[in-house]
Amino acid sequence: MPPLTLQAATAADIMNPGPVSIAHTDTVPEAVEFLTDRGFGAAVVIDAAGHPLGVVTKTDVLMYTRRHKPGLEPDDTPVTEVMTPAVFSVRPDTSARSVVEQLLEIGVHHLFVMDKSNVIVGVISPVDVLKKLK
């Protein structure tokens, strides 16, 4: 069997366009509903102007849930209290090799793709990379 080769030159070739976002005013239960209803592992948290503040992942929510035993009373904790306060990103023209290296080095499951205006235009997960192996 021949070795697999990554059939992508840049981040733009790998990314899923149009990543989802949630408002910084959303609560943890709203974030859980948003992620689970849509089948996403992460979403960018944005401020009122649409600027990224961080990323909330299923792992962030699980860690919060484990610490706070939800269900005993309504939870109005803002998503900003559980999110990762960083958005790891690459440009669309970042080489595919660099994307793979960054996923491994940073140890994240999502890299967001930002254009020159710092608008998030896509997202890359390890599964997206695997889909490009032929």
Q: Percent of the chain scored above 90 by pLDDT?
A: 73
Mean of the per-residue pLDDT values for the chain?
91
**For position 74, what pLDDT does the model report?**
53
Asked whether residue 4 is domain-assigned, the answer is no
**Sole residue written with tokens 């943890």:** 28
* First-to-last C-alpha distance (Å) of the chain: 11
Tokens of 93: 């023209």
Asked whether residue 5 is domain-assigned, the answer is no
CATH number of the CATH domain containing 36: 3.10.580.10
Output the CA torsion sign for 88, 21, 46, 32: negative
Q: Nearest-CA neighbor of 94 among 82, 111, 106? A: 111
79 vs 99: CA distance, rounded Å: 27
Residue ranges making up the domain that contains 108: 11-131
125 pLDDT above the threshold of 60: yes
Q: Lowest-confidence range among 22-36, 72-86, 103-117?
A: 72-86
**For position 63, what pLDDT does the model report?**
87
- Greater confidence (11 vs 58) lies with 11
Asked whether residue 3 is domain-assigned, the answer is no
Asked whether residue 103 is domain-assigned, the answer is yes
What is the average per-residue pLDDT within 66-80?
75
Q: Which helix (H) or strand (E) holds 124?
A: strand 120-124
**Sole residue written with tokens 């948290």:** 45
Asked whether residue 6 is domain-assigned, the answer is no
Q: Nearest-CA neighbor of 48 among 17, 80, 75? A: 80
Asked whether residue 2 is domain-assigned, the answer is no
72 pLDDT above the threshold of 60: no
User: How many domains does the chain fold into?
Assistant: 1
